[in-house]
Structure 1
Amino acid sequence: MNLRTISLSLFAALLLVNCKQKQETPVVEPTKQETTMPEEAVPTLKSELDARKDNFNAKADEDVKTDYANGLKAVEESGVVEQAKHVGEKAPDFTLKNAVGETVTLSDYLKKDL
């Protein structure tokens, strides 16, 4: 499998997980910063992914579309979609380095008052 196929497969996995999740969006109270922008002006992840998918389908050549379809099929058959977290499920705690090399832990970040 070449690098392009792997990249397309990972992108396909993200699309699959997003499409398989419930269409319901959880209710989130807006922050002071968010109240200055009309709600319809804030794109959702689903709308952004749909736009990228439409753009891909309109512009990609047939070989790339075939590679993408094969990657999508491989992701579906791997069972990774069923194992993925879905809307409403708790994310596992993890620790990573941020862009400036500092250690950041999800649970610590969620405790912050943003």
Structure 2
Amino acid sequence: MTILHLALADDWTAAVDAGEYRVSTLGRTLAQEGFIHACADLEQLRGVAGRYYGEVTEPLVVLAIDEELVGCPVVREIPEGAQEAFPHIYGPLPVSAVVQVTPFRR
């Protein structure tokens, strides 16, 4: 199954150089949050973009992630205040698990 993550383009570039991605969400690392936030589909991703990335002027990319290649637990959880489950990646994301990178357009 493919899941999605919205990332700053610069964070993704740094991850490619490092071999793994360790950003949980805007301004928070995997170490700080305990997991990497992801979305089940484009509808969820657009909602996240509107709620949390509306003021971001830096380029954003959508990471399409092959869940089977992640190599750590991916757990669908309902965040506090939400009504739907979101996939959370409980470990660093290997760049090899990202099967497509697309510029995000609002």
TM-score bracket for this pair, using the shorter chain length: under 0.3
TM-score (normalizing by structure 1) = 0.23
TM-score (normalizing by structure 2) = 0.24
Query: Per residue, is there more strand in 1 or in 2?
Result: 2
